[in-house]
Amino acid sequence: MTIFPRAAAICALLLPALFICSCQSRSDMTTGTDASKAADHVTVKAEPFGSTPKGEKVTLYALTNRNGVTARIINYGAIVVSLRVPDSKGKLDDIVLGYDTLDDYIANNPYFGAIAGRYANRIALGQFVLDGVTYTLATNNGPNHLHGGVRGFDKVIWQARPVEKADQAGVEFSYLSKDGEEGYPGNLRVIVTYWLTNADELRIEYEARTDKATPVNLTHHSYFNLAGQGTGSILDHEMMINADQFTPVDDGLIPTGELRSVKGTPMDFRRPTAIGARINQEYEQLQYGGGYDHNWVLNRGKKPLTLAARVSEPTTGRIMEVYTTEPGLQFYAGNFLDGSNIGKGGRPYTYRSGFCLEAQHFPDSPNKPSFPSTILKPGECYTQTTVYRFRTK
């Protein structure tokens, strides 16, 4: 893989580093949808979803397209609380893990459906050096920093407003992460927009600006089960990841800095393979995380949006495709779910009953100069787009 500098040429080459061209809508980055064929509007409805212990009111936004696909999203953590999509017989099921009440999300949420940041994934020992200054972050994952810290973007109230276009509608969430929040430098203004399209896509567009250099790495953290949330293991799902390499980790799940070929290893998902087919093999990398919990180095295409992964579920015929502008994809196989999270409808989320596909920059990039940069500077604009597309076979 070519490791590219973070410079204006990145925009011209359409490579997946932090774009420093002007912030603008990413709606031109289509995945093949013909917008002119859309006949009906996607609807947006708002309703109360409880209050935080501080008395902050939380609102749920329900997006529904002409096919009955529905995404329900709250402004606490910008969390997708449910996503109902059809199976091969047209039956709609909720395919993301989550809770029925705000209280559960506040009390015990392993990032179900949330936006993770200011830096998604791990930063080694909760420290990084930027412009000669050492910054210290919370160590909330053993000795390391995870998903923005003790109160990351998954635990804040976002400002929200409905938005719409001819063939899609959504909700724009915005948040100001103040200088020093969770130890990070700079006032960071973040906008995350969820779009539901009539092509059965959940499209997520991100923008961020800062007044001081700071690392930024945002991702979406839904746990998926294409057979339906709470229905059991995801080990029979067939996974394809469009990557020739991954970033191996140490026993603390911090990348070593190596880019390793997937060939001949259980990390090779270039052809569709059941998640459970090799997950228990005696391979050092699988032992560190108790299974898959790694970043894959995506093979880039010529278009900004690249097919990152495709997952199919054999009993329902559901297929999910992930497209992204990001250079990496974290595949997590629900290794730490243990039944203690009682989800929607009173269903316990047991071992490996959900998986995550988190489009991202690489973990611990602030401490790995050879990785694509995650440093955003004043006057620049962070943008990324990730699309989850659903169909059946």
Which domain covers residue 331, as residue numbers?
A: 39-392
CATH of the domain at 226: 2.70.98.10
User: pTM of the entire structure?
Assistant: 0.91
**Three-state helix/strand/coil letters over 277-315:** HCCCCCCHHHHHHCCCEEEEEECCCCCCCEEEEEEECCC
pLDDT at site 41: 85
For the question of residue 321 being annotated catalytic, the response is no
Is residue 11 included in any domain, yes or no?
no
Interval 319-329: pLDDT, tens? 999 999 999 99
For the question of residue 56 being annotated catalytic, the response is no
Is residue 247 included in any domain, yes or no?
yes
Average pLDDT rounded to a whole number, residues 50-54: 97
Counting the structural domains of the chain, the total is: 1
Please tell me which residue in 182, 313, 321, 358 is annotated as part of the active site: 358
Is residue 4 included in any domain, yes or no?
no
Is the pLDDT assigned to residue 279 strictly greater than 70? yes
Q: Which residues of 26-40 are buried (b: 16+ CB within 10 A; e: fewer)?
A: bbebbbebeeeebee
Is residue 326 included in any domain, yes or no?
yes
Band of pLDDT at residue 164, cut at 50, 70 and 90: very high
Residue position matching structure tokens 């029925």: 100
Is residue 295 included in any domain, yes or no?
yes
Average pLDDT, the chain: 91
Interval 340-372: pLDDT, tens? 999 999 999 999 999 999 999 999 999 999 999
Element (H, E) at 318: strand 318-324
Is residue 27 included in any domain, yes or no?
no
Residues 62, 43: Cα–Cα separation, whole Å: 8
Is residue 5 included in any domain, yes or no?
no
Is residue 1 included in any domain, yes or no?
no
Average pLDDT rounded to a whole number, residues 165-183: 96
Average pLDDT rounded to a whole number, residues 208-215: 98
Please tell me which residue in 221, 237, 294, 361 is annotated as part of the active site: 221
